[in-house]
């Protein structure tokens, strides 16, 4: 309750400042404000759109502003950086013609008439979102201890400001309309800009990435990318207890394999004693997960939406859902039938995961038809031109 009260007071103060000092300022038609994951990093769809704009001579006169929580550790080409939530941030929030964000933003700052809010979101949803989450009315969400109704309203108040929302496929369009209560005209089915690199990449680029990250080129690379759990957190943020024994992975898989471990960006306790040096590569500080997708041969995940993006590469995916019953029934619930729609096997035992890795060719043959159907339904819009499509819709 204390945290909830403190956050409420801070947001009210910022709202007053925004309304009194900055809202009266005129909009600048050639200013664009970008923010990824509430200022956490330089990544995702906003990054892809921004970098496409940098290539276009038509936008040389535009001012590009990026909001980061830690401005000192992030630099960008041809742009202004501001601290997320600062007075300078509120100033640009007020004068920018375009907002390009990829996550729910605080709804205490009203959008002005003439401003354009593009919500790119950050994944095709497997687990239910916002108004679609199935839990009891008395359930508490997140560290802020919001009730289900408060949580839902925080999403809906933000989504009512959307002018456009990017969708990667028709399935996402229907899920977003249901979860965020938005109209058809808001949705633009362009595919995700951040996946352009997956379609357009080359073997030379992948080789350079392995050089950059010091990843062995001759070994099979397994990317382990689990998601966060809504109910596991402390006063600092969300925490994650790694439910794998990488020493055992090494004993079973041997020297022909390496593991890249990428925890979810919301998790703060990323340092882990279970990491085996030389066999497991800690990618917790990697801002662009596309680099990890491109380097890896196999993805192991759970309920994360990463497999939708990885599907663009048509590479095998294993789903290690050791807490399936709890997650499905008590936390989120799913939009898909995970037993018929996922492009790979659901595994609840760690030994089954390891054996599936060793026998990945057989697993791939068994699931090939489902993988192909999955690509057609969820990934086929990723044609390498999504960033350009979005720019042509929003800015022209």
**Sequential DSSP letters for 80-140:** EEEETTSHHHHHHHHHEEEEEESS---TTSPPPTT-EEEE--S---SB--GGG----TT-E
In terms of C-beta distances under 8 Å and separation of at least 24 residues, what long-range contacts does 45-48 make, across chains too? 45/100, 45/102, 45/120, 45/121, 45/122, 45/166, 45/192, 45/193, 45/194, 46/100, 46/101, 46/102, 46/120, 47/194, 47/288, 48/192, 48/193, 48/194, 48/196, 48/197, 48/386, 48/387
- Asked if 391 and 64 touch (Cβ cutoff 8 Å), the reply is no
pLDDT over threshold 60, residue 390 = yes
Per-residue pLDDT tens for 182-214? 999 999 999 999 999 999 999 999 999 999 999
Nearest to 229 by CA among 218, 237, 220, 221: 237
Choose between 150 and 160: higher pLDDT: 160
Tokens 């050639």, located at residue: 30
Q: What is the pLDDT of residue 223?
A: 97
- Asked if 309 and 381 touch (Cβ cutoff 8 Å), the reply is no
- Asked if 47 and 66 touch (Cβ cutoff 8 Å), the reply is no
Percent of the chain at pLDDT above 70?
A: 87
Q: Which residue intervals of 316-359 are DSSP H helices? A: 324-326, 338-341, 350-358
The CATH code of domain 2-194+383-394 reads: 3.40.50.11820
Task: For residue 153, give both structure tokens.
Answer: 């309203």
Lowest mean pLDDT among 135-144, 201-210, 213-222: 135-144
Lowest mean pLDDT among 13-17, 308-312, 337-341: 13-17
Choose between 317 and 75: higher pLDDT: 317
- CATH 3.40.50.12580 for domain 196-379: yes
Sheet holding 116-119, edge to edge: 80-83, 63-68, 28-35, 96-101, 116-119, 164-167, 187-189
Predicted TM-score of the model (pTM)? 0.88
Q: What is the pLDDT of residue 103?
A: 94
Q: What is the pLDDT of residue 135?
A: 65
Task: Check if 2-194+383-394 and 196-379 are the same fold.
Answer: yes
Rounded-to-integer distance, Cα 29 and Cα 395, Å: 10
pLDDT over threshold 50, residue 29 = yes
DSSP state of 25: S
- Domain ranges, ordered by start, for the chain: 2-194+383-394, 196-379
Rounded-to-integer distance, Cα 311 and Cα 315, Å: 7
- Asked if 300 and 222 touch (Cβ cutoff 8 Å), the reply is yes
Q: What is the pLDDT of residue 269?
A: 46
State the average pLDDT over residues 18-24: 88
Per-residue pLDDT tens for 5-19? 777 777 788 888 888
Q: What is the pLDDT of residue 268?
A: 46
């Amino acid at each position: 309750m204390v945290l909830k009260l403190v956050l409420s007071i801070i947001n009210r103060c910022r709202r007053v400042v925004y309304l009194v000092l900055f809202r009266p300022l005129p909009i600048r038609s050639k200013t664009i404000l970008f923010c990824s994951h509430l200022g956490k990093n330089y990544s995702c769809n906003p990054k892809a759109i921004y970098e496409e704009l940098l290539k276009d001579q038509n936008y040389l006169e535009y001012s590009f502003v990026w909001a980061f929580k830690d401005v000192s550790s992030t630099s960008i080409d041809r742009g202004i950086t501001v601290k997320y939530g600062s007075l300078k941030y509120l100033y640009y929030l007020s004068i920018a013609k375009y907002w390009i964000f990829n996550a729910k933003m605080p709804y205490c700052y009203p959008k002005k008439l003439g401003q354009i809010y593009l919500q790119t979101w950050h994944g095709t949803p497997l687990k239910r979102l916002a108004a679609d989450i199935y839990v009891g009315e008395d359930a508490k969400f997140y560290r802020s201890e919001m009730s289900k109704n408060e949580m839902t309203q925080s999403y809906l108040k933000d989504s009512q400001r959307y002018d456009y929302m990017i969708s990667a496929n028709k399935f996402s369009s229907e899920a977003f309309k249901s979860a965020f209560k938005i109209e058809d005209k808001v949705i633009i089915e362009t595919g995700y800009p951040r996946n352009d690199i997956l379609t357009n990449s080359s073997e030379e680029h992948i080789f350079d990435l392995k050089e950059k990250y010091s990843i062995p080129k001759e070994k099979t690379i397994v990317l382990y990318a689990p998601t966060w759990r809504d109910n596991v957190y402390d006063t600092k943020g969300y925490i994650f207890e790694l439910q794998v024994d990488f020493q055992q992975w090494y004993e079973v898989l041997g020297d022909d394999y390496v593991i890249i471990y990428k925890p979810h960006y919301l998790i703060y306790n990323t340092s882990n004693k279970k990491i085996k040096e030389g066999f497991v590569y800690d990618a917790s500080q990697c801002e662009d997960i596309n680099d990890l997708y491109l380097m890896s041969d196999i993805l192991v995940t759970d309920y994360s939406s990463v497999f939708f993006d990885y599907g663009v590469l048509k590479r095998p995916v294993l789903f290690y859902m050791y807490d399936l019953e709890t997650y499905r029934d008590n936390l989120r619930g799913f939009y898909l039938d995970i037993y018929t729609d996922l492009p790979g096997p659901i595994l609840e035992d760690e030994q089954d995961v390891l054996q599936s890795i060793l026998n990945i060719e057989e697993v791939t043959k068994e699931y090939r038809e489902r993988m192909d159907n999955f690509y057609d339904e969820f990934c086929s819009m990723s044609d390498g031109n999504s960033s350009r499509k979005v720019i042509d819709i929003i800015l022209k």
